[in-house]
């Protein structure tokens, strides 16, 4: 197993931090933004050039009404709400387009696509069974702290996912079914649930990060696993060698940890609107939050599939904390050998119950 | 049928904030909520102009398009209103609105921002006209009494006009032709153009000249 190597993580952490700090700056300097006061350049809008009578205006028919506003019109305001100094913001048009067209389509295609792909996979490949059958000897895999971290994160995520999807798709899917009067309270409670469940989600996420980071550092063996796609797409049993976590699980770990932290960051920024950035920044933050939500939802569907119906013996690991010996040999040979050397294999027909360990 | 609009004449507005005060007082708008505001452009420089802005009651209203609970409706006169009974205070209408019109009682989402509040064109909300419920949630309903919005009535320079689109446009064109210049009806290309529901609808573009409604 690879020793814990924080140095390897450094570039990753730096990259993430840089991205997060670049975001509000990029958002502030969006195209067409006119600085307060104008900055001495061209006038903010047509018509500001002069206020002297013009020979072009002879009759009422010459007076323009519908002057185009293509850029952002920014001014000064005497009330203490800087967000209101923006007179006209064109970004709302793009944000509306994203929220009502792109997000609905992307979200629908990604989520339904993931479900369809899993169904196809299930009928084509079927559950991945334990080749040699169950050994009925048990290898401890996740202790109670591991499982607490996992299920806290998982329940938090599912609550966040469902309550978020109510906001995204409820208007088109649920209002026609239940009507405006019942949907509004549901959406209201979803909003509260969304904010409340962010707490267990983030705590569980940090706990998982601390507990499992050392087993999720990429190694050379992961390349082999990736090249064979983990044996997922071969009908006969192919199990590339792997340690406690294989490359697929490591990928999921990093997606969930980094994606989840990005969700938390963007989510908390959405909960404190305009504290750190202006309207364009808020729109970008929302777009990141919503798109990443769709991606993570699809990824988690895959994770739930492989952890339940998709693979024999996999659920025991997070359910009871132990796995069948043959499952361990087939899926995590390297890790199994270590457990053997440490003498951790538990004999006995009966699966160890909670509290036995 | 009239199509109600606002027009702020940038050549006349002197940033006195009478419209803002009139609105606050008429509807007993709580602290921190600004249904109407005056924004000054090019402040202290040649070409300075002030524009009084509130909800423009857009033709294809972006707020209504994005609302997750679909709580907006449009009156026969083109006034965009919403139901505070349904609103969940998510803040999405503010992200979509070109004019920054929607307002919220509280600043953050911790414990919710509260029900959205915005200019009603002095036309109240979904409750019975001028009932105590309507007044408490949305303010007075002057339109139901045959009166126009108080902000425009109060405007000492007659910069802010409220009323039927064609009548307001005629007044503005007439006066602009007399003085020989005008910077246009601020926001109209965004709020009222018909092409795919207005310049600020997805794929929409500003029209130089719109069709007249009557
Ligand atoms: C971890 C902390 C998180 C926080 C603080 C958070 C916060 C928020 C906030 C403030 C909103 C804006 C809407 C509103 O509040 O009414 C939102 C929207 C949303 N969130 Fe989260 N969120 C988090 C995690 C997640 C996760 C893990 C998912 C899903 C997998 C998710 C999915 C969504 C979705 C789908 C929306 C609606 C987007 C839309 O329809 O426009 N969120 N979130
Ligand atoms: S100005 Fe804003 S709040 Fe008013 S109708 Fe248009 S989008 Fe909605
Ligand atoms: S704040 Fe209220 S009115 Fe605005 S989009 Fe959200 S639910 Fe709709």
Comparing B163 with A48, the larger pLDDT belongs to B163
Tens-digit pLDDT profile for residues A267-277 = 999 999 888 89
Confidence of residue A30 (pLDDT cuts 50, 70, 90): very low
pLDDT at A353: 60
Q: Is B194 on the interface with A (CB under 8 A)?
A: no
Cα angle A156, A161, A167; round to 5: 130
Distinct helix (H) and strand (E) counts, chain B: 7, 6
Contact predicate B116/B89, CB 8 Å: yes
Closest approach of A96 to chain B, Cα-based (Å): 6
Distance, C-alpha A298 to centroid of its chain: 9
Task: Indicate which residue's Cα is closest to atom 5 of ligand 2.
Answer: B57
Percent of chain B clearing pLDDT 70 (strictly above) = 89
Domains identified in chain B and CATH numbers: 4-192 (3.30.70.20)
Task: Write the pLDDT tens digit of every residue in A58-83.
Answer: 888 888 888 877 788 999 999 888 88
Reported as a pLDDT band with limits 50, 70 and 90, residue A48 is: low
Domains of chain A by start residue, with CATH: 141-355 (1.20.950.20)
Interchain proximity A68–B189, CB inside 8 Å: yes
Q: Please tell me the predicted confidence (pLDDT) of residue A237.
A: 64
Query: Which residue is listed with tokens 């024999």?
Result: A312
Q: Does B125 touch chain A (CB under 8 A)?
A: no
Chain A residue numbers touching B99 (CB-CB < 8 A)? 87-88
Ligand 3 lining (C-beta closer than 6 Å): B 66-69, 71, 82, 87-93, 102, 116
Nearest chain B residue to A285 by CA: give it: B95
Token pair recorded at residue A115: 């479900």
B123 or A135: whose pLDDT is higher?
A: B123
What is the complex's ipTM, to 2 decimals?
A: 0.89
pLDDT-derived band at B194, boundaries 50, 70, 90: low
**pLDDT given for residue A350 in this prediction:** 67
Residue from A218, A220, A198, A202 nearest A210 by CA: A202
The DSSP bridge partners found for residue B4 are B164
C-alpha A152 – ligand 2 centre gap (Å): 41
Nearest residue of A to residue B192 by CA position? A66
Measured in angstroms, the CA of B88 and the nearest CA of chain A are apart by 5
CA of A222 relative to ligand 3 center, distance in Å: 47
A69 vs B88, higher pLDDT = B88
């Amino acid at each position: 197993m690879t020793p814990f190597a924080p140095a390897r993580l450094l570039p990753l952490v730096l990259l993430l931090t840089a991205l997060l700090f670049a975001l509000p700056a990029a958002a502030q300097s969006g195209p067409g933004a006119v600085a307060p006061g104008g900055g001495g350049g061209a006038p903010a809008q047509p018509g500001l050039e002069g206020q002297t009578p013009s020979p072009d205006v002879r009759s009422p028919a010459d007076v323009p009404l519908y002057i185009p506003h293509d850029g952002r019109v920014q001014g000064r305001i005497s009330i203490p709400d800087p967000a209101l100094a923006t007179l006209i913001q064109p970004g709302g048009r793009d944000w509306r387009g994203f929220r009502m067209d792109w997000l609905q389509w992307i979200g629908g295609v990604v989520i339904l696509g993931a479900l369809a792909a899993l169904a196809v996979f299930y009928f084509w490949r079927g559950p991945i069974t334990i080749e040699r059958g169950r050994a009925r000897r048990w290898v401890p895999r996740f202790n109670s702290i591991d499982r607490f971290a996992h299920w806290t994160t998982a329940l938090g995520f599912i609550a966040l996912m469902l309550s978020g999807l109510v906001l995204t798709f409820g208007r088109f899917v649920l209002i026609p079914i239940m009507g405006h009067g019942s949907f509004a309270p549901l959406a209201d409670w979803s909003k509260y649930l969304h904010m409340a469940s962010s707490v267990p989600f983030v705590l569980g996420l940090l706990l998982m990060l601390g507990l499992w980071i050392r087993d999720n550092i990429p190694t050379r063996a992961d390349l082999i696993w990736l090249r064979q796609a983990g044996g997922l797409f071969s009908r006969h049993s192919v199990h590339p060698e792997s340690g406690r976590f294989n490359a697929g699980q490591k990928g999921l770990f990093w997606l969930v940890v980094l994606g989840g932290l990005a969700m938390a960051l963007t989510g908390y920024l959405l909960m404190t609107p305009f504290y750190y950035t202006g309207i364009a920044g808020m729109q970008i933050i929302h777009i990141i939050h919503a798109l990443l939500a769709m991606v993570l939802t699809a990824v988690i569907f895959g994770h739930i599939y492989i952890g339940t119906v998709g693979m024999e013996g996999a659920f025991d690991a997070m359910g009871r904390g132990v796995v069948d010996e043959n499952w361990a040999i087939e899926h995590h040979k390297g890790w199994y050998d270590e457990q053997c050397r440490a003498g951790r294999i538990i004999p006995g027909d009966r699966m160890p119950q909670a509290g036995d360990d | 049928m009239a199509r109600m609009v606002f027009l702020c004449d940038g050549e006349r507005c002197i940033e006195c904030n009478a419209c803002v005060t009139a609105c606050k007082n008429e509807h007993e708008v709580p602290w921190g909520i600004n249904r109407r505001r005056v924004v000054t452009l090019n402040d202290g420089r040649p070409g300075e102009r002030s524009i009084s802005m509130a909800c423009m009651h857009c033709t294809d209203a972006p707020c209504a398009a994005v609302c997750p609970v679909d709580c907006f409706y449009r009156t026969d006169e083109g006034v965009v209103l919403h139901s505070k009974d349904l609103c969940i205070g998510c803040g999405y209408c503010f992200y979509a609105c070109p004019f920054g019109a929607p307002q919220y009682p509280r600043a953050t989402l911790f414990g919710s921002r509260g029900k959205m509040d915005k200019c009603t064109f002095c036309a109240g909300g979904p409750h019975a006209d001028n009932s105590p419920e309507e007044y408490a949630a949305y303010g007075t309903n002057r339109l139901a009494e045959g009166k126009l919005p108080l902000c425009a009535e109060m405007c000492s320079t007659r910069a802010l006009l409220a009323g039927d689109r064609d009548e307001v446009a005629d007044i503005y064109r007439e006066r602009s032709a007399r003085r020989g210049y005008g910077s246009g009806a601020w926001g109209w290309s965004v709020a009222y153009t018909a092409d795919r529901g207005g310049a600020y609808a997805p794929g929409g573009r500003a029209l130089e000249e719109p069709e007249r409604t009557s």
